[in-house]
Structure 1
């Protein structure tokens, strides 16, 4: 059973369940900022951790991510609990691996839409080893906020990928995998995160 971090909006119009990326927990700075941003925008956010991350939190030992079936099982359990507790439309998503698993889940479960931050389109340095199937097979719309120089899927890397009409891409100029731009770009990390949040919130509103 997952332990949730819940950011409840004052007058919520939707619920978003978010999963973390491979290397950082549900209360990382990035996840915290994103959850708080959605909450301020009227979207209640549930965050949960995959089993390997809960073990790391308990024992302090770094562990690799669980195998995909275990990750999907954890996602399904989280979704079951949230939909049992909430009557508002439920959206799912996450950071990097968490967002990818949400897209896989959307291929078998009925959810309103998926919101991803930094989708891992391919392993680092291997743009030919694509991870497009979850996007192409999704049964619902998918929003992706992506840094244009993300090492797991830059604008140049994915220019020729066939993503499908259900995918909406929002690019953050010069952003890396955490959407962070270089100083010389003239943008700040906070600006990019806030821009991604505005675009993601607008996307969610489209499906309410």
Structure 2
């Protein structure tokens, strides 16, 4: 594991590399607006995927590196993501663009222009809680590349049944999972089992990508 500071037009970002021995892809993963790369699902993927031929690059947006508490506007997040792209593409492998929550939106919005091979969206915030009329489905549907959504069954930002039908994406549900893909005690599965649903789904999906 190595950390790399990457200058962007939004400030310095930081990329923490978790390399695979024989990588087929680089998976660049951004964090949400309320947390960083310490999120459980991001850390679980960084532990598991290198063993399956995927180098994971956990990306901290400039606002987090600078110690700010509040994420900037989406346009600034996109600027930061564009800025780190040459670093994650430098190994010369196909790059899967991904992230959780706000990071998933960034990955979808920029996939086409950056030439992402695919998109991984963890906890895609389909709408603000309680505001289904404020749909962000167009961002997801506009990614234009193979996309996997991993969504909690009780995510107040969009439950699996709320996602549009007919979109060119796959969706995996974490039963009872909230926006952070955590599950309550009544779910009948533990947090580790919930994380295994996430990692197993992503391992299968990346193996299927050409």
TM-score over 0.5 for the pair = yes
Secondary structure at 1:200 match in 2: helix
**Distance of 2:148 and 2:194 partners within structure 1:** 15
Structure 2 length-normalised TM: 0.88
Alignment correspondent of 2:84: 78
Structure 1 length-normalised TM: 0.89
Deviations 1:168-201 (A, max 9, x none): 1001111111111111121111111111111112
Q: How many pairs align?
A: 199
RMSD of aligned residue pairs (Cα, Å): 1.6
CA contact (8 A) 2:119 2:143 kept: no
**Distance of 1:39 and 1:53 partners within structure 2:** 25
Secondary structure at 2:22 match in 1: coil
CA contact (8 A) 1:146 1:175 kept: yes
Alignment correspondent of 1:59: none
Mark the runs of 5 or more structure 1 residues left unpaired by the alignment.
Answer: 57-61
Secondary structure at 2:99 match in 1: strand
Mark the runs of 5 or more structure 2 residues left unpaired by the alignment.
Answer: 1-6, 8-12
Alignment correspondent of 1:120: 125
Deviations 1:92-117 (A, max 9, x none): 10111101110001142311100111
CA contact (8 A) 1:51 1:66 kept: no
Alignment correspondent of 2:106: 101
Runs of 4+ with deviation above 4 angstroms? none
Alignment correspondent of 1:194: 196
More strand by share: 2
Task: Tell me: CA distance 1:134–1:164, structure 2 relative to 1, closer, same or farther (3 Å).
Answer: farther
